[in-house]
A and B are shown apart, each in its own frame.
Chain A
Amino acid sequence: AQSVTQLDSQVPVFEEAPVELRCNYSSSVSVYLFWYVQYPNQGLQLLLKYLSGSTLVKGINGFEAEFNKSQTSFHLRKPSVHISDTAEYFCAVKKSSASKIIFGSGTRLSIRP
């Protein structure tokens, strides 16, 4: 069965500092990977996704993620965060042959001025 682990429930960082939000998944088959963001009092929106091809995926708002098959990871990074990046970030995985997407428990990113 698939599962997604986001090891950090909360990540505090200073404004303009770099950030990495960790995501590990377990699956024995080919998968698609996603990062969604949920800003305060808003719905989820897609940040980026990996379906195939280049393992480095660039998304909106300066975020990027790298698919590492050997480590079964899909960590999200941004070189310099802004106050407006304060949100909850969800990693998700889907078997390429299936319909259901499994979400991680989320990481709350808080930016300090």
Chain B
Amino acid sequence: GAGVSQSPSNKVTEKGKDVELRCDPISGHTALYWYRQRLGQGLEFLIYFQGNSAPDKSGLPSDRFSAERTGESVSTLTIQRTQQEDSAVYLCASSLGSGETQYFGPGTRLLVL
């Protein structure tokens, strides 16, 4: 079946603009995660959705970052008033449930000029 998909694959934006990144998880996966991977660094947890529970937002770096998920489907990560330090690859992963193996999407490479 189809894996996790993300769009766009690449995004170049100007400092101060808002961007919206999209993630389509694997069908039936109740858990969805967003991570950030800066150049040469490991993955940084941003936010986690599990079913209808309140999301775990403990990794969001600032109030410029927000994410939504509609039911157990698509999720969008929004970054408002982008800054150059937001440049990174944003990865989405989904899993059947909490603790299950995470399947990663190809990522969105964001460059803020």
- Chain A residues within CB distance 8 Å of chain B: 6, 32, 36, 42-46, 49, 90, 92, 94, 96, 99-106
Interface presence of B91 (CB below 8 A): yes
Q: Pick from B42-50, B66-74, B79-87 the stretch touching chain A.
A: B42-50
Shortest distance in angstroms between B107's beta carbon and chain A's nearest beta carbon? 6
Interface presence of B18 (CB below 8 A): no
Contact of A43 among B44, B48, B106 (CB under 8 A): B106
| Other A-B pairs, 19, CB within 8 Å; known A99-B50, A103-B35 | A42-B106, A43-B104, A43-B106, A43-B107, A44-B91, A46-B101, A90-B42, A90-B43, A99-B31, A99-B48, A99-B99, A100-B45, A100-B48, A100-B56, A101-B45, A103-B44, A103-B45, A106-B41, A106-B42
Interface presence of B102 (CB below 8 A): yes
Complex Cα spacing A45 to B105, Å: 9
Q: Flag if B42 contacts A105 (CB, 8 Å).
A: yes
12 cross-chain CB contacts under 8 A: A32-B99, A43-B91, A43-B104, A44-B104, A45-B104, A90-B42, A99-B48, A99-B56, A100-B45, A101-B102, A105-B42, A106-B42
Residues of B in contact (CB 8 Å), total: 25
Shortest distance in angstroms between A58's beta carbon and chain B's nearest beta carbon? 15
B30-46 Cβ-contact flags toward A at 8 Å (1 or 0):
01010100000111110
Complex Cα spacing A98 to B56, Å: 11
Interface presence of B98 (CB below 8 A): yes
Q: Flag if B91 contacts A49 (CB, 8 Å).
A: no
Chain B residues, CB < 8 A from A102: 45
Interface presence of B62 (CB below 8 A): no
Q: Flag if A99 contacts B43 (CB, 8 Å).
A: no
Which residue among A92, A96, A99, A105 has the maximum number of chain B CB atoms within 10 Å of its CB?
Answer: A99
